[in-house]
Amino acid sequence: MKSRQLFYDRVIRNWKFQSQVFRSVADWTVVLYILIPAVIFCTAVYFSWWKELPEWLDNIPFIIPFFFLYLLSWSGNIRTFIVEADKVFLVKKPELLSGLKRRAYLYSFLQQLLVICAGFSCLLPFLLNYYLLSWQEIIVLFVYFRSLQACLLFLKYPIRKVVSTFRKSIITLCLFLVFNWCSQWMYRIIDSGYHLPVYVISISVLILSILLSLKAIGKKGSLDIHIEMEQERKSSITQFIFMASPQIEKPVVIRRKKPLLFRNSKRIFKKRTPINGLIELFIKIVVRNSSYLYGYFMLINSTTWAIILVPPLWLKLTIFTAFCFMMYGWLFSLWDKVCQYNPLMNKYMDRDFYFSARKRGVWIMLVLALLVIILFYTIVWLLKEMIGIV
């Protein structure tokens, strides 16, 4: 078998696996009554933007779509299509293994190219008709963000080798801020009319990133990392379904010896009662479990952005009220799931104080979520007042 045949076989197997995962969630009723109408509605809205710009676009600065493109550049990872058995069989055939890796990187490169093209296509009516950018400025922005995306694909690879989660987060945050500053500096150069330096820098970074990426993934000693990367990319949709559904328990592998928060297990409540003990146990379990904490903040984040972006006040209040009921039900189901897997909570679930603790604990987490939404909405409102957005 040649590397080209092996690559096509791995890609087809991956597509079949992802389609099976998708069909397990979206049956024909979901596709017929939800997905197809949603696609038709989004397409009609998009073509309406070419005819007439929406009213909510008034006084929105260019930094908003520019930052959206910057965030889009951080999406994606390098695919290798390496499996566990390759450590035994393909390791004896270096030419076949290297050919598979090169084609897998090209696949990742083209996949991320489609992502950045989709982002520019969505923003194209706004860039042309509202921000009045020329095609030359749009093309140079596209070239820059594509080179930035290729550079980030390469940088994510050595960052992945960092074992400490805290160090990895600090490095990622620093890179995010540095590249954000560089992107704004590049836009100032483009806005001044100096397109040639941006083309030279972007194409140089793009070529250098491709060469360094191929050299990095070509090392034989990194097969374990490649296998781990491929398993995460292959199961990304499955993990998203697990996190979105509170009824499915997602196992979380914790490599550290001590938790990041409450590592000394100090008391949250000074008054020691059975109710406070169960509430404290529930809060610590949720905070220490990344799956529970991710679902909690995912609901908060989506609601916050919906409240910020939707203009009418009555619609903001409707979304806020719907979030209260949705979060209340989700926290109740989360309490029952935590109780099911925790022997201490499961032992006292037939006591009267258990039900009081569940109700009070859910209300505490709900109030904290509402405070976070109000805080972020206030910060965004103050920023809008400072920069003059209506």
For the chain, the farthest-separated pair of C-alpha atoms sits apart, in whole angstroms, at: 73
Q: Does one domain contain both 49 and 89?
A: yes
Q: Each residue of 182-229: pLDDT tens digit?
A: 888 888 888 888 889 889 999 999 999 999 988 888 877 677 787 777
Q: Does one domain contain both 211 and 124?
A: yes
When pLDDT is averaged across residues 349-377 and rounded to a whole number, the result is 83
Angle CA(219)–CA(221)–CA(224) in degrees, nearest 5? Answer: 110
Q: Is 110 exposed, middle or buried (0-12, 13-18, 19+ CB in 10 A)?
A: exposed
Q: Does one domain contain both 11 and 53?
A: yes
Nearest to 97 by CA among 219, 259, 278, 276: 219
Q: Does one domain contain both 189 and 77?
A: yes
Q: Does one domain contain both 224 and 314?
A: no
**C-alpha–C-alpha distance, residues 187 and 247, integer Å:** 46
At 246, the pLDDT band (50, 70, 90 cuts) reads: very low
In a domain, 255, yes or no: no
Q: Which residues of 23-49 are buried (b: 16+ CB within 10 A; e: fewer)?
A: eeeeeeeeeeeeeeeeeeeeeeeeeeb
Q: 265: left (phi > 0), else alpha (psi -120 to 50), else beta? A: left
Q: Does one domain contain both 228 and 272?
A: no
Place of tokens 């034989």: 220
When pLDDT is averaged across residues 319-339 and rounded to a whole number, the result is 84
In a domain, 248, yes or no: no
In a domain, 21, yes or no: yes
Which 8-state DSSP code applies to residue 390? Answer: -
CA dihedral (337, 297, 353, 270) positive or negative: positive
Q: Each residue of 98-144: pLDDT tens digit?
A: 888 889 899 999 999 999 999 999 999 999 988 888 899 999 999 99
Q: Does one domain contain both 324 and 188?
A: no
When pLDDT is averaged across residues 324-335 and rounded to a whole number, the result is 85
Q: What's the mean pLDDT when you consider all of the chain?
A: 80
Q: Which of 153-157, 159-163, 245-249, 286-290 has the lowest mean pLDDT?
A: 245-249
Q: Does one domain contain both 277 and 202?
A: no
In a domain, 251, yes or no: no
Q: Does one domain contain both 206 and 296?
A: no
Host domain of residue 376: 262-387
Which 8-state DSSP code applies to residue 134? Answer: -
In a domain, 253, yes or no: no
Q: Is 293 exposed, middle or buried (0-12, 13-18, 19+ CB in 10 A)?
A: middle
Model pTM?
A: 0.67
Q: Does one domain contain both 150 and 288?
A: no
When pLDDT is averaged across residues 294-305 and rounded to a whole number, the result is 81
At 386, the pLDDT band (50, 70, 90 cuts) reads: low
Q: Does one domain contain both 175 and 53?
A: yes
In a domain, 247, yes or no: no
In a domain, 233, yes or no: yes
Decide which of 206, 241, 276 is a domain's last residue.
241
In a domain, 301, yes or no: yes
Question: Would you state the pLDDT for residue 304?
Answer: 82
Q: Does one domain contain both 192 and 61?
A: yes
Decide which of 211, 241, 271 is a domain's last residue.
241
Number of domains in the chain: 2
